[in-house]
């Protein structure tokens, strides 16, 4: 019987799959991809909040924004003063998550709060709450502010005085709302802020300014 040739080095190991894998060229570890929006996009959206000032009687200023609701957030507060009397106050918060948010159906969300003084007769109107919610939807439509997933609550507050405080009866309406703006251009967020400003004025009983009238005066 012819003798077997010499065992080739590594043959048995290769048959069992034990051969060392080939050495691959060294590669760099993958780098994390930043999820932050371009600075100019976020700046344009946040700057649009100032458009809330739709009347000279409105005083608007930046305010601290909630830090844990989204990676990017900005906020403004507004007071509506007529003859040094505060008729209404509001807060509008802009949230942005570049990764998107399933509940928002988008990557940007606006959250607003309005509180306005009311006459007692209006506060007693059973249709006040649906009518006040309609003010927001109408304002968004009039400003061409396309949106989805609008939701919120309307609350009426009435207090009645007795005895020596009988003249201190008061009534207020509070509107809490949030919606997702549909933005082809980040500058379009200004239309949403303006709509919210009109809601604030409407709740306080002030009519919109005539077309073409500029809003003058400094912002705070």
Of 189, 173, 183, whose CA–CA distance to 134 is shortest?
173
Q: Given the structure tokens 């009687």, which residue do they identify? A: 57
pLDDT category at 210 given cuts 50, 70, 90 is low
DSSP label at residue 184: S
- What pTM did the predictor assign? 0.76
pLDDT of residue 32: 33
Averaged confidence pLDDT in the chain: 81
Is pLDDT at 200 greater than 90 in this prediction? yes
Of the pLDDT bands very low, low, confident and very high (cuts 50, 70, 90), residue 10 is very low
* pLDDT greater than 70 at residue 1: no
Q: For the purposes of burial, counting CB atoms within 10 Å of the CB of 130, is it exposed (0-12), middle (13-18) or buried (19 or more)?
A: exposed
d(CA 220, CA 216): 13
The encoded tokens of residue 79 equal 């007071």
Q: Which of 139, 145, 125 is nearest to 192 (CA)?
A: 145
Question: Phi/psi class of residue 167: alpha, beta or left (left: φ > 0; alpha: ψ in -120 to 50)?
Answer: alpha
pLDDT at 15 exceeding the cut of 60? no
More confident residue, 39 or 96: 96
Question: Cα(94)–Cα(19) distance, rounded to whole angstroms?
Answer: 59
The predicted model gives 46-62 an average pLDDT of 94
Contact between residue 116 and residue 203 where contact means Cβ atoms under 8 Å apart:
yes
Task: Kindly tell me if the per-residue pLDDT of 124 is higher than 70.
Answer: yes
DSSP code, position 217? S
pLDDT in tens, 129-186: 999 999 999 999 999 999 999 999 999 998 877 887 777 778 899 999 999 999 989 9
């Amino acid at each position: 019987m012819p003798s077997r040739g010499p065992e080739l080095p590594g043959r048995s190991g290769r048959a069992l799959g034990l051969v060392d894998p080939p050495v691959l060229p060294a590669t760099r570890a993958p780098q994390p991809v930043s999820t932050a929006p371009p600075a100019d996009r976020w700046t344009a959206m946040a700057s649009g909040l100032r458009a809330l000032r739709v009347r000279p009687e409105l005083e608007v200023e930046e305010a601290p924004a909630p830090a844990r609701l989204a990676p990017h957030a900005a906020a403004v507060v507004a007071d509506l003063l007529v003859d040094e009397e505060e008729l209404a106050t509001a807060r509008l918060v802009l949230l942005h998550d570049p990764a998107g948010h399933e509940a928002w159906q988008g990557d940007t969300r606006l959250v607003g709060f309005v509180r306005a003084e009311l006459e007692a007769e209006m506060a007693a109107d059973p249709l006040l709450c649906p009518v006040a919610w309609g003010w927001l939807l109408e304002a968004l439509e009039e400003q061409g502010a396309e949106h989805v997933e609008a939701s919120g609550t309307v609350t009426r507050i009435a207090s009645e005085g007795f005895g020596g405080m009988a003249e201190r009866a008061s009534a207020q309406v509070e509107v809490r709302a949030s919606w997702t703006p549909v933005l082809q251009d980040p500058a379009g967020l200004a239309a949403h802020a303006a709509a919210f400003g009109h809601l604030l004025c409407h709740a306080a009983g002030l009519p919109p300014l005539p077309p073409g009238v500029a809003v003058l005066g400094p912002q705070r």
